[in-house]
Structure 1
Amino acid sequence: MDTGVVEGGLNVTLTIRLLMHGKEVGSIIGKKGESVKKMREESGARINISEGNCPERIITLAGPTTAIFKAFSMIIEKLEEDISSSMTNSTATSKPPVTLRIVVPASQCGSLIGKGGCKIKEIRESTGAQVQVAGDMLPNSTERAITIAGTPQSIIECVKQICVVMLESPPKGVTIPYRPKPSGSPVIFAGGQAYAVQGQHAIPQPDLTKLHQLAMQQSPFPIAPSNQGFQAGMDASAQTGSHELTIPNDLIGCIIGRQGAKINEIRQMSGAQIKIANPVEGSSDRQVTITGSPASISLAEYLINARLSSEATGLAAN
C-alpha cells in the first residue's frame, strides 16, 4: 500500500459515496449486520447505508483517509469473495473483475477527466483499473456515477487518486445528492401473492399481498376472469384495461395528497396509471380514469375507496 498518498497531505477527513445493488449491499451488511459491524470496528470509519427498499443503495464512508481506505478495501475484499464463491459453481474460466460505482458531484468531473481526457487517462495507466465517468447526471441530482473495474489493488489505488483530485478541486455551487428511489418496479400478482419485479427477479411483497387480498374481497367491481392469466406472471402487463370513477370535488384533495404524494403512492402500490380530469364547470364531480391490468385496477380502486372512507369517517368525527 502506497503511504506516499497519505504523506502527501491526504490525511484529512473524507467522504466517499458508493452506489451499489441491493444484493451486494446485503452481502456487505452480512447476517444480522455482523459484516458491516466488523468493518466499522476494524477500520474506524463511519459507514452509513441508505434505505433498504430500493434496488440501488448508497454506502457512505466518512472519516480520516486511513480509516476510509481500510473500510474501502474491506468492502472490495467482500465483493471479490462473492465473485470467487459464485465462480465455484460456474463454468466460466475467466474471473470477472470487481466493479464498483462511486458517486461524485458533476462539478468535479471536469477535473477528474482533465483537458482532452488527460487526467483520467493518467489514472487508468498508473493504476491499471478501468475508469468510466457517466455522461449523464443521476436522476434528480447533480451527481454522476464513476464506474471502476479491475483487481482489488488497482481499484483501491484508483480511488485514492480520484480522492486526491477531488480534494484539490472542491465541488462548485450546490450539490444535490443522488437518493435512490424505492423501486417503482412493476408489481405482479401470482397465486394470490404480490411480487415486485426487479430486473430478472420477482421479490415477494407481503404488505402488497395483504392489500391485494383485501382488494379482492372488498373490491366493489367484479374482477375480470382473465386474472387467472397472472399465474404466468410476466404477461400481466399485456391485459390492460381501464375503469372510470366519479369522485366529488370536495374529496379529490384527500386522494391527491400534498403535492400529489397520495396519488403517487397509490400509483406505485397498485402499478396502475391514474389520471384525474380537470374540473368541469357546473359539475361537482371529477372523473378519475384508472388504466392497467385487472388486478392493478382493482387494487388502485380499493386504495382510493379506502382513502375516501377514512376521509368520510374523519369528517364524521369532526
Structure 2
Amino acid sequence: MTLKTEEDEQQHQQQQQHQRSPSQEGAGTTTEKTIALRSLVGTKDAGVIIGRAGKNVSDIREQSSARVTISEIVQGAYERILTVSGPVHAVAKAYSLVGEKILAEHTQQLQQQHDENDSRSNNNMKHDPNSVLIKLLVPDSKMGVVIGKSGVVIKSIQEMSHTRLNASEEPLPMSTERTISVQGTPEAIQLAIQRIAQILLEHNDRASGHNGQHQHATNNNSHAAAAAAAAAAAAAAAMGYGAMMPTMTGMPMNGAAGTGQQQSSQAQQIYIPNEMVGCIIGKGGSKINEIRQLSGSHIKIDDPQGDSKERLVTITGSQESNQMALYLLYSRLESEKARLGMR
C-alpha cells in the first residue's frame, strides 16, 4: 500500500479546490462557521483511510467537502493524527465516510480469516461487524460542555445518535486534550460527531461573547497560558530536556482558525539543542510545516547565536494550538533521541 505524505495531500486538495464548480465553491463555505476536529487513528487504519495512491482520502474529501489530512508516521508511535476541518455537517460526513472505509477493510480481513479457517475469526466475529470506533481529541477545558452536568449532555448525544460515548478522565501525556470515543455505525457516528461539533462551536461563541471585558479576558488568558507552559515544561523534563523550559510572553493577537471568531493568542518559547534542529525542520522544511499545519500555531526557529549550543523556538497561537505544537515538537525530539540512542 502506498501512503501519501501530508504535502502530497495538501497539493491534491488545492487541485480539487480549483476544479470545483462555482456552485460547489459557494455551498456554505463562506457563511457557515467552520471547525477542525482531530482524532487518533491506528497506523494501519490510517493507511486504510489514505488508500492506495491516496484514493480513499480523495473520495472522502470529494464526498464530504471537508478538508482531511493525516500526520506522517512517527517512529515508535502506534497512532497518527487525523484532522478534519470544514462546516459542521461536512466534518461529520467525513468522519462517517472514514468509518465506512475502516469497516470495509475490517470486514474484508474477517472474511479472509474465515475463508482460511483461522480459529481467531470466531472470536473476532463476536464484535458488531457494523460498528466502528472513532477517538476524538477534545481540549480538557471544553470536555465539560460535551459531558454536561451529571453527564446529561453526553447521555443525550448517545440516545439521539444511538452511539456509545466514553470520555477519558485524564488528558493524554504531554497534552491538554482528552479523548472521547464514539462507537457505532458510520451513520450513527455522523449524528454524534455533528452534535459534538455544534456544542464546541456554541461554546466558542459564548466564550467570544466576553471579549468586551478585555482586562478580565487578558488575565484569564495569562493564567491559562502560564498553566500551559508549566504542563509543557513538565513534559520536557519527563523526556530529559531539562533545559527546554517554555517561557510565556503576553502577546494577545487575533486569529482563531476554524472557529470564525477572534480569540487571544499567546507566544511561548522553548530552547532546543542545535543538533536536534534538523529533525524538527525536516527535509525541505517538511517536518516543521507539518507541525504548523496540524497545530495551527506559527513556529519560528531563530538562527544560532554566538557559541550557544541551543536555538530559540517561538510558538505563537491559541493555548490549545500551542499545546498541540509542543506535543508534536517533543514527540519529534523524543523520536530522534530514540533513533540516536540518546538518554
**Structure 1 length normalisation: TM-score?**
0.52
**Superposition deviation, residue 270 in structure 1:** 4.7
Match of 1:91 in 2: 122
Match of 1:68 in 2: 91
Match of 2:277 in 1: none
Match of 2:104 in 1: 81
- Unpaired runs of at least 5, structure 2: 1-27, 114-120, 208-219, 229-238, 240-306, 313-329
Q: Distance in 1 between matches of 2:39 and 2:333?
A: 32
Q: Distance in 1 between matches of 2:38 and 2:186?
A: 17
Match of 1:31 in 2: 52
Equivalenced residues, count: 190
Matched, 1:48 2:48: no
Q: Distance in 1 between matches of 2:63 and 2:172?
A: 32
The structure that is strand-richer by fraction is 1
State how 1:221-300 maps to structure 2 within 5 Å.
267-271=337-341, 274=343
Matched, 1:126 2:160: yes
For residue 161 of structure 1, the aligned residue among 195, 211, 218 is 195
For residue 102 of structure 1, the aligned residue among 99, 124, 136 is 136
Q: What secondary structure sits across from 2:122 in the alignment? A: coil
Matched, 1:152 2:186: yes
Q: What secondary structure sits across from 1:99 in the alignment? A: strand
Output the amino acid matched with 1:154.
Answer: A
Seen in structure 2, the aligned counterparts of structure 1 residues 21 and 46 have a Cα distance that, compared at 3 Å, is: same
State how 1:170-209 maps to structure 2 within 5 Å.
170=204
After superposition, give the CA deviation of every residue in 1:78-126 in whole Å (9 maximum; x if it has no partner). Answer: 1111221122112244334311100111111111111111111222222
Seen in structure 2, the aligned counterparts of structure 1 residues 115 and 138 have a Cα distance that, compared at 3 Å, is: same
Seq. identity, %: 32
Q: What secondary structure sits across from 1:169 in the alignment? A: helix
Match of 2:39 in 1: 18
**Contact 2:183/2:189 (CA < 8 Å) preserved in 1?**
yes
After superposition, give the CA deviation of every residue in 1:193-227 in whole Å (9 maximum; x if it has no partner). Answer: xxxxxxxxxxxxxxxxxxxxxxxxxxxxxxxxxxx
**Contact 1:18/1:58 (CA < 8 Å) preserved in 2?**
yes
Q: Distance in 2 between matches of 1:106 and 1:263?
A: 24
Q: What secondary structure sits across from 1:14 in the alignment? A: strand
**Superposition deviation, residue 12 in structure 1:** 2.9
CA RMSD in angstroms, aligned pairs only = 3.5
**Superposition deviation, residue 75 in structure 1:** 0.6
- Structure whose alpha-carbon radius of gyration is higher: 1
**Superposition deviation, residue 70 in structure 1:** 2.6
**Structure 2 length normalisation: TM-score?**
0.48
- Unpaired runs of at least 5, structure 1: 1-6, 177-183, 185-252, 275-318
Q: Distance in 1 between matches of 2:53 and 2:132?
A: 25
